[in-house]
Structure 1
Amino acid sequence: MGNQSGPGKFGRRTVLQVAAAAGAAQLAPPFIISARGEETVKLGLDNPLTGVYAATGKNELTGCQLAVEQINAKGGILGRQAELLIEDSSSGDAGTAVQKARKLIDRDKVNFLLGNVNSGLSLAMAQVSNEKRILHIVPGGHTDAITGSTCHWNVFRVCNTTRMLTNAIAKSLMDRYGKKMYFITSDYAFGHTLQEGYDANLKQYGGTKLGEDLVPLGTTDFSSYLIKAQATKPDVLVFLANGDDLLNALKQAVQFGLDKRIHLAGANTELEVLEGLPPEARIGDWVAEWYHIQPGVPHVDEFVAAIKKKTGRVPTARTWFGFVGAWSCALAANKAKSLDALKMARALDGMELPPEVGLMPNTPFYRANQHQLIGSLYVGNAQAKGSAPDDLFHVAKVVNGKDVAGTVEESGCKMTWPA
């Protein structure tokens, strides 16, 4: 995906230990002396650095890196320095993701597990983290089951559920453009639950589903799907995909001239995708899960400046996901005054994020007994040119996550805590 920010090249296993010398110098000397001899607190990130989701995975990594630097500059976790251990899960191989998770837990003895961008891999990793009783933060895997039907006491999620995404946009699309829709949907957990969300909204608001194509992850040629969709004459062609898949689908839809005859839209889009598209393909209505231009929201400009200093580029929603994920580990441990997973999960259960971490107009919080972060969603349209070269999304309205999340009961989560 062109022009993506990233931390550079990675080996098979990369270890980041941030000393944060500038920040540490401001701490009282007794703390520095005692902290130096302590074993580090380890955060294990098991996320894609190669494949379809490499760009989004690398940006989540950048957010984690900044968080670890800040955590260490502010005293660390329980007075000990934090260390980030990184594994490349690949973009679509659950076996690899599980193997890397076990390696981080069993061999590297991490205190926290983070990941994954891919919803299916997140589900597989959650089984491992629950078995091993380790606190697990999912920064960017959206499928509903993670904090729904297969929720676990030890698993927390930063990004929105797919149902929150579809609830935020589906009705407005039908009201503005028409109720006949055709869907091109990624054939794995993320796409499946997005489709279920749209299907529910169509039923609720009297829409019509003209058809649906399930497309394998990593598809590069969408021509047959686009021709089939065009023949049904929908009001809206809905793309339920992400990463390079969404980028390729939109490029080809514009090359076919579909944007001149059909409104193009979807659920969530990401700055990584918009950056990779030619200007003429930056079109359609979408949901952004975080955006770097938020006038008046405390600390957003500071976060943007810190990421630009590291990468030369503005942060994306993925950067924020990683940032919140790593900070959640420190917040849980420091509140619990323990690295015991159960005590930390209890501490994080229902917690509101501080403004310098939340970076949203609606204070994000982990909903009790579900562990889904509820914050803000940004509904609007992609744009070829905005107020700045990196302003590629126009926010038409900010939706409070509480208004589209449904209830814990509706999510299907029946949280069971250890004795």
Structure 2
Amino acid sequence: MDRFDAKTPLKTPPTAALSRRGLLKGAAFGGAALIAAPAFLRSARAQSGPIKIGFPVPLSGPYSTEAQDQVRCAQIAIAQFNDKGGLNGRMAELLVRDDKLDPGEAATRALELIESDKVNFLCGSLSASVQLSVNQVAKQRGVIYNSISQSDSINQVSDFSKYTFHEALNPHMTAGAVARYAFPKFGKKVAFLIADYAYGHEMERGFKRAGKEFGIEDVVEIKHPLGQADFSTFFPRIQAARPNVLVVCNFGRDQLNLVKQATDYGLKQQMKIVFPVLLFSQRLAGGAGPFEGVIGGANYYWGLESEYASAKRLNDAYRAKHNNAVPSDYGALGFAGVYALLEGAKKAGGTDPDAVIAALETLKYDAYKGEQTYRKCDHQAVQSVLVVESKPQAEVKGPNDVFKIVATQPAGDQFLRSCQELGHS
């Protein structure tokens, strides 16, 4: 089994390795200096010093590969802002913390960033449950938080506050887009294999809700724990149900392990394998063979550079900094989340939370794939969703040429749950 941790770089394509220690050391320097400063200097700096963005992400654990790329891309957003002179001379800083994919650890790190490091904003997280923990801390202390991980709950009135923004896609959008493409093409008998936590359950709900339109039949449903090593024990039950489509709602290394084992087991010859999110990073790690023909959703693919100047700008900046590699899908969310916060600060003329909230609610921005907005009622980023298919080796033209975009769901409120359904008046 291929192993990746916070100290292991992606091997294909070549990219600049960022160790967990290096990420934390470099990003935290400005915050440490602020803590040591006298009280009157801290107060002055809060008004006119650096614009500080706290960035808790799981640099250790099964999602570390994606988290490291979120940091790389967030650093690009910071650099581009500073290269343009910042905000009236105020430069931006990124303060990275390892949330270890644990809600309690994430809450502790978020509190530390707010109270000790005096960040202006928070951005980050890579788990549905972890982001809710960070959001609770942020809203209680009046700090704007822009989440870059999928969640349906964060937009609901029970978890939402005026300080809550959600740059990432949500499961309703993502699963819906993939379902509307896959079920009419591949069949109505559907098996579900889901990671047994919020991400898996919300994605499954999104598929089933969209599937009602096509009359899908749920033939079997199996749950697995996060970090499952052996998926083969589930395969006989799936085969016995004779599905046309196997929907797998998991993420990170779980996705890679599942695809490899399903290929070895011959499952792909019997059914179409579909993910709500098909990860660029895991496809690079796994290679063309295991992933061939697998379908999934994505917020971003570097090939959009042929259509959007903003995608090419991000890709070129990443290539220049990381040995001609390209940003991943979830990495791009790290860029977009920080980019939007800084654009909001520029529009507001400062970092006052209420002014920035008002600016973000009316902001039209093109971070990396065309124009986006935040819906006012729940601060969800209204954006396109890509449906991608992994290419066979014979069609691959280079180390990064791994997917073809087979469908695009355009940005639109009609693909979101209504404000009323989420509990907003």
1:311 partnered with 2:322: yes
Determine the C-alpha separation between the residues in 1 that align with 2:16 and 2:99. 16
CA contact (8 A) 2:55 2:95 kept: yes
Q: Which digits, 9 at most, give the CA deviation of each residue in 1:174-198, with x for residues without a partner?
A: 2111100101111111111101111
CA contact (8 A) 2:288 2:390 kept: no
1:394 partnered with 2:404: yes
1:252 partnered with 2:261: yes
Determine the C-alpha separation between the residues in 2 that align with 1:367 and 1:276. 36
Determine the C-alpha separation between the residues in 2 that align with 1:240 and 1:43. 31
Structure 2: which amino acid aligns with 1:157?
H
CA contact (8 A) 2:194 2:222 kept: yes
Determine the C-alpha separation between the residues in 2 that align with 1:410 and 1:38. 40
Which of 308, 312, 322 is equivalent to 1:297?
308
Q: How does 1:370-409 map to 2 (within 5 A)?
A: 370-385=378-393, 386-402=396-412, 405-409=415-419
Determine the C-alpha separation between the residues in 1 that align with 2:412 and 2:290. 32
Which of 132, 146, 156 is equivalent to 2:154?
146
Q: How does 1:20-419 map to 2 (within 5 A)?
A: 39-91=49-101, 93-139=102-148, 141-149=149-157, 150-283=159-292, 284-294=294-304, 295-312=306-323, 313-353=325-365, 355=366, 357=367, 359-361=368-370, 363-385=371-393, 386-402=396-412, 405-409=415-419, 411-414=421-424
Identical aligned pairs, as a percentage?
26
SS at match of 1:114: strand
Q: Which digits, 9 at most, give the CA deviation of each residue in 1:285-309, with x for residues without a partner?
A: 1112111112131232222111011
Determine the C-alpha separation between the residues in 1 that align with 2:420 and 2:390. 31
SS at match of 2:276: strand
Determine the C-alpha separation between the residues in 2 that align with 1:340 and 1:189. 33
Q: How many residues align?
A: 393
SS at match of 2:309: coil
CA contact (8 A) 2:162 2:357 kept: yes
Determine the C-alpha separation between the residues in 1 that align with 2:26 and 2:421. 37
Report how far residue 314 of structure 1 moved.
0.7
Structure 1: which amino acid aligns with 2:118?
K
Report how far residue 413 of structure 1 moved.
4.7
Report how far residue 162 of structure 1 moved.
0.3
Report how far residue 66 of structure 1 moved.
0.4
CA contact (8 A) 1:308 1:314 kept: yes
Tell me the TM-score normalised to structure 1 length.
0.89
Q: Residues 328 and 10 from structure 1, CA distance in 2 versus in 1: closer, same or farther, beyond 3 angstroms? A: same
Report how far residue 6 of structure 1 moved.
5.8
> Unaligned 5+ residue runs, structure 2?
5-9, 31-44
> Unaligned 5+ residue runs, structure 1?
20-34
Determine the C-alpha separation between the residues in 2 that align with 1:303 and 1:113. 22
CA contact (8 A) 1:44 1:110 kept: yes
Q: Residues 6 and 401 from structure 1, CA distance in 2 versus in 1: closer, same or farther, beyond 3 angstroms? A: farther
CA contact (8 A) 1:40 1:83 kept: yes
CA contact (8 A) 1:251 1:278 kept: no
SS at match of 1:239: strand
CA contact (8 A) 1:78 1:333 kept: no
Structure 2: which amino acid aligns with 1:396?
V
Report how far residue 407 of structure 1 moved.
4.7
Structure 2: which amino acid aligns with 1:247?
L
Q: Residues 398 and 156 from structure 1, CA distance in 2 versus in 1: closer, same or farther, beyond 3 angstroms? A: same
SS at match of 2:27: strand
Determine the C-alpha separation between the residues in 2 that align with 1:57 and 1:330. 20
Stretch deviating more after TM superposition (338-347 or 175-184): 338-347
Tell me the TM-score normalised to structure 2 length.
0.88
Stretch deviating more after TM superposition (103-112 or 8-17): 8-17
CA contact (8 A) 1:370 1:408 kept: no
Determine the C-alpha separation between the residues in 2 that align with 1:157 and 1:15. 26
Determine the C-alpha separation between the residues in 2 that align with 1:156 and 1:305. 27
CA contact (8 A) 1:123 1:146 kept: yes
Determine the C-alpha separation between the residues in 1 that align with 2:338 and 2:287. 33
Q: Which digits, 9 at most, give the CA deviation of each residue in 1:36-91, with x for residues without a partner?
A: x9522211100011111101111111111001111111121342111111100012
CA contact (8 A) 1:282 1:392 kept: no
Report how far residue 104 of structure 1 moved.
0.6
